Amino acid sequence: MWEMPSRTDMDDRDQSGEGPSNSVILEGRNIQVVYHSGERAVAAVEDFSIRIREGEFVGLVGESGCGKSTAALALLGLVRPPGKVVQGMVLYRGEDLLRKLESQLRMIRGSDIGLVVQNPNSALNPLLTIGTQIANVYRDHHPVSKSVALKRVASVLKGMGIDDVRRWMNSYPHQLSGGMAQRVLIAMATINEPKLLVADEPTTGLDVTVQGQILDLIQSRVQETGSAVLLVTHDLGIVAHYCDRVVVMLSGRIIEEAQVQVLFSMPRHPYTKKLVASSLEQARATHHIPTAGFHRPQPP
């Protein structure tokens, strides 16, 4: 059973995924993840259930330590010791991903589901050029030669607004700035046009003027590929302007879930109320509505 997500036209973003074909592409049910530390076992995530529909942009929000990254990794079958998924299932195309072999999961990740991690260093091989690495992701799922793959990589990078594509493709990870590295991760995660893109704090640590570039890039890439997005973040500003729907976590559990407009106007859980109230207060007190576009400096 699906529900039509209700979206309000709060800006002129082109929303994909409207209409009766909004089927659920990924569903997590009652997931529980436990971490073993010596004698003790700590539940990092408890009773986590989520449904992500085609074309939706879902924000998974909470402070550090709330379990949001762990929950997202659990959906991809990426929880590793000392963590363990002790309960629950992740349904994708009628099958439970958590019952699949790692080799099968690898085929799904990278093609059907893309992942952008927070720290580019954990995803990039320092010994290979960027071009080769992105091409490898393409070739893992398409039987083509290296040169064909590189051409595809070049066209994706060009489509992402990158000017000096050749120089980029020949660079090594250590030569990239934070923003550039994130763009590479986004290219790698979306080159096979996944149904779902999971992005874990993709802009944390980046300069504020670069954040906008990266988020806009994610948004335009998923509009091109028709992907849904699960964006893990602690930043309510990002949620307010990019997400359709929000899932809020606290201490390993989901405490609230709502369409963005509803979450900000009518939060229900006391924690969410507090969070939203102070974020709104801060935003309204200090955000100056800028005049459109750029203008010459003017005297006061």
Partner 1 sequence: MSSSENTSLLEVQALVKRFPAGRGNTFVRAVNGISFSVGRGEILGIVGESGCGKSTVGRCLLRLIEPTAGRILFDRIDITRLSWRQLLPLRARMQMVFQDPLGSLNPRMLVRDIIEEPLRLHTGLDGLGRGQRAAELLDLVLLSKRYLHRLPRELSGGEAQRVGIARAIATNPDLLVLDEPTSSLDFSARSGILSLLMRLREELGLTYVFISHDLYTIGAYCDRVMVMYLGVVAEIGPRRSVFDRPQHPYTQALLSARLPADPGIRLGRHVLRGEVPSSIDVPQGCVFASRCPLVREDCLPEQPPLTVVGSTHMAACVRIADSTNMLDLGQAPDPRVSSPI
Applying CB under 8 A, the residues found at the interface with partner 1 are 10-11, 63-65, 177-180, 207-213, 216, 234-241, 260-261, 264, 275-276, 278-280, 282-300
Element (H, E) at 198: strand 196-200
Measured from the CB atom, the residue of 20 and 293 that comes closer to partner 1 is 293
Least spacing, CB of residue 298 vs partner 1, in Å: 6
Residue among 100, 109, 85 nearest 32 (CA):
85
CB within 8 Å of 48: residues ≥ 6 apart = 28, 30, 31, 32, 33, 67, 71, 74, 88, 252, 253, 254
Measured from the CB atom, the residue of 108 and 185 that comes closer to partner 1 is 185
Measured from the CB atom, the residue of 20 and 300 that comes closer to partner 1 is 300
Measured from the CB atom, the residue of 135 and 263 that comes closer to partner 1 is 263
Least spacing, CB of residue 175 vs partner 1, in Å: 11
Least spacing, CB of residue 160 vs partner 1, in Å: 13
CB within 8 Å of 75: residues ≥ 6 apart = 26, 28, 31, 50, 90, 97, 198, 230
Measured from the CB atom, the residue of 70 and 111 that comes closer to partner 1 is 70
Residue 59 CA, distance from chain mean position: 8
Measured from the CB atom, the residue of 79 and 248 that comes closer to partner 1 is 248
Measured from the CB atom, the residue of 12 and 102 that comes closer to partner 1 is 12
- State how far the Cα of 227 lies from the Cα of 230, in Å rounded to an integer: 10
Least spacing, CB of residue 46 vs partner 1, in Å: 20
Least spacing, CB of residue 87 vs partner 1, in Å: 28
Least spacing, CB of residue 59 vs partner 1, in Å: 11
Phi, psi of 294 (to 5 degrees): -105, 150
Least spacing, CB of residue 210 vs partner 1, in Å: 6
Strand runs labelled E in 62-172: 83-92, 95-96, 113-116
Residue 10: how many CB atoms within 10 A of its CB? 10
Do residues 16 and 227 make contact, with C-beta atoms less than 8 angstroms apart? Answer: no
